[in-house]
Amino acid sequence: MSVRGLRQTPEDADIHRVDDLISVRRWRRYGADRLYVTQECGAPVGSIDLQSGEVVVAEPGFEDDVRRAAQEYLRADVAELVLPARPHALAEQADTRQVEAALEEWLGTTGGPEDGPRAERASTVGDRLDRLIEEGWQTVHDVPLGRQGSLVEHLLIGPGGLFTVTERRHRGQVVRARGRAMHVDGRPVAYLRDARLEAARVADRLAGPQGSWVVAPARRLASAQQSALMLREGPRRPSHACETGDWSHVDVYLTKTLDYRMLLLPGSAYQPELMRWVAERGSTVVAVGADVEGAAAAVRYPGDDVDDVRLLTETTVAELVAARWWAAS
């Protein structure tokens, strides 16, 4: 049975007719999670991807309606939401002020000298991201990416997925972002493009043309098998699991002929031998739970030096990568 919610004030009722209403429905299948906004007559208004944040609209002027409808839907506890196509002017201003206040509080740009946000004004973006641990997020800073010395400033891992975060400072300048474009004092900048490319590079470290391999010590082989299963089952990518010691007798031969991409779960006594071979063959390794010399990147998390914590946590990395590939397919 569908539950419909109608949020409308008496003032709105005086302004809007029935055909001025829009409906919001959530669609979750095949790893995707989107909100679809339609007019009451069924004509599409647009959609928003809750994983990537991408907005698709039927007409350019509909973007604000789609974003507002998504915010209202996520606040409401209903399966389907019906609301006015255009908000009352005062309500729109109040929503804008609320969003701006929340953003300024997080950035630490409001309040007096004794206020908490003002006192934290000098804190770095990394410090503020670290505080998200209370919301179930983990952050990794200065993650090496590739062999050219480039770094991902902040890697954010949590319930919503895997995100790269980069900070740019433009004190006293006007910054506008709309769709896929960003301007600083009217000048176009490539920050959004660079952010998308950086996020794609993190996931693509494992997206080899012949698939990917997950390698783990014998005592945690189940983690490798579960990780490989997630990469196969969701996005339908070739993926295989192997025990670290056995790898040097079996899969090592594949590094000579394939574009070999490995997700390494560290801790095996046979790991140095493995890393020697992948270095000689130019294979790509992403380590989970430890900094490994020669790895293209390492994802760390609290407690990653405890085997019981590893068993409960390390498969999450492959699951998040699988979700990203699945959503993009």
Query: What pLDDT is attached to residue 225?
Result: 94
Question: Do residues 72 and 142 share a domain?
Answer: no
The answer on pLDDT for 258 being more than 90 is no
Task: For 185-231, write each residue's pLDDT tens digit.
Answer: 888 887 767 766 666 666 666 666 778 899 999 999 999 999 999 98
Question: Do residues 53 and 151 share a domain?
Answer: no
Question: Do residues 253 and 302 share a domain?
Answer: yes
What residues make up the domain containing 309? 212-328
Between 191-204 and 315-328, two packed helices, what is the crossing angle to 10 degrees? 120
Number of domains comprising the chain: 3
The reply to whether 95 falls in a domain is: no
Query: What pLDDT is attached to residue 6?
Result: 34
Mean pLDDT, residues 260-282 taken together: 93
Task: For 152-197, write each residue's pLDDT tens digit.
Answer: 788 777 666 667 787 777 778 887 777 667 788 888 887 767 766 6
DSSP 260: -
Determine the Cα–Cα distance for residues 162 and 151; give it in Å rounded to an integer: 16
**Closest among 300, 312, 318 to 154, alpha carbons compared:** 300
The reply to whether 129 falls in a domain is: no
Split at pLDDT 50, 70, 90, the class of 247 is very high
Contact criterion met (CB below 8 Å) for 320 and 162: yes
Question: Do residues 225 and 188 share a domain?
Answer: no
Cβ-Cβ contacts under 8 Å for 69 (sequence gap 6 or more): 22, 24, 35, 37, 45, 81, 83
Most trustworthy range by pLDDT among 59-68, 262-271, 297-306: 262-271
The reply to whether 92 falls in a domain is: no
Segments of the chain assigned E as strands:
4-6, 21-29, 32-39, 44-49, 55-57, 80-84, 138-145, 150-158, 161-165, 175-178, 181-184, 187-189, 212-216, 239-243, 261-264, 284-288, 297-299
Determine the Cα–Cα distance for residues 197 and 133; give it in Å rounded to an integer: 26
Q: Pick the residue with more confidence: 209 or 7? A: 209
The reply to whether 109 falls in a domain is: no
Question: Do residues 222 and 305 share a domain?
Answer: yes
Domain final position from 47, 71, 87: 87
What is the Cα Rg of the chain in Å?
24
Domain final position from 30, 57, 87: 87
Look at 36-40, 100-104, 136-140, 227-231 and tell me which has the smallest mean pLDDT.
100-104
The reply to whether 106 falls in a domain is: no
Cβ-Cβ contacts under 8 Å for 313 (sequence gap 6 or more): 289, 301, 303, 304
Question: Do residues 171 and 221 share a domain?
Answer: no
The pair of three-digit structure tokens given for residue 134, joined into one six-digit string: 């209370």
Question: Do residues 217 and 322 share a domain?
Answer: yes
Mean pLDDT, residues 2-14 taken together: 35
- Average pLDDT for the chain: 75
Sign of CA dihedral 230, 232, 235, 238: positive
The reply to whether 126 falls in a domain is: no
Question: Do residues 197 and 271 share a domain?
Answer: no
Query: What pLDDT is attached to residue 227?
Result: 92
Query: Domain of 321: which CATH number?
Result: 3.40.50.10490
Contact criterion met (CB below 8 Å) for 202 and 297: yes
Tell me the C-alpha to C-alpha distance, in Å, between residue 296 and each of 93, 118, 147, 215, 302. 47, 38, 7, 15, 21
Q: What value, to the nearest 5°, has the Cα angle with vertex 297 and ends 296 and 299?
A: 160
Most trustworthy range by pLDDT among 20-29, 136-145, 164-173, 285-294: 285-294
Contact criterion met (CB below 8 Å) for 192 and 182: yes
Pairing status of strand 150-158 against strand 138-145: antiparallel
Q: Tell how far CA 267 is from the center of its chain.
A: 27
The reply to whether 270 falls in a domain is: yes
Query: What pLDDT is attached to residue 1?
Result: 27
Query: What pLDDT is attached to residue 90?
Result: 39
Query: What pLDDT is attached to residue 252?
Result: 92
Query: What pLDDT is attached to residue 162?
Result: 67
Question: Do residues 193 and 240 share a domain?
Answer: no
Question: Do residues 225 and 257 share a domain?
Answer: yes
The reply to whether 131 falls in a domain is: no
Query: What pLDDT is attached to residue 14?
Result: 36
Percent over 90 (pLDDT), the chain:
16
Question: Do residues 199 and 217 share a domain?
Answer: no
Question: Do residues 198 and 222 share a domain?
Answer: no
Domain final position from 160, 183, 203: 203
